[in-house]
Amino acid sequence: MKKQLCLAGLMLIASAGFAAENTAPEAVPEPPDLPPKVESGEVLEPEVRIIESEKGKLEEYSINGRVYMVKVTPQSGPPYYLVDSNGDGELDTRRDHPSEISVPQWVILSW
């Protein structure tokens, strides 16, 4: 009985080896070419304009000609920011509401 089981096992292993030899691997297709690099022509970094006076310093941050933030650094006192938070063109400050947090925001797409 043991001889028959060993013989059957060897035949099973041999048949699996023959089946593996007969299968040819499929040809792997060539990868597609990379698409061309997209260049929009828009400036991705903000343009910073610094204005200094006797009262302090202003730093205007703009992208594509639109001012979206102004940092005001007075001669005495801490600096503060004026931010166009909703895109209407008016710069807002929230000194009287300390509970509101200014979340970083980026323009992903505009047209």
Domains in the chain, please, with CATH? 44-96 (2.20.130.30)
Owner of token pair 């990379």: 34
pLDDT at 66 over 80: yes
pLDDT at 59 over 90: yes
Does 33 or 11 have the greater pLDDT score? 33
Give the C-alpha separation, 91 to 86, whole Å.
9
Between 25-29, 34-38, 84-88, 102-106, the lowest mean confidence (pLDDT) is in 102-106
Taken in order 7, 8, 13, 19, the sign of the CA dihedral is: positive
* Helix, strand or coil, per DSSP, at residue 18: helix
Residue 107's nearest CA partner among 61, 59, 38, 60 is: 61
Does 66 or 5 have the greater pLDDT score? 66
Give the C-alpha separation, 44 to 12, whole Å.
66
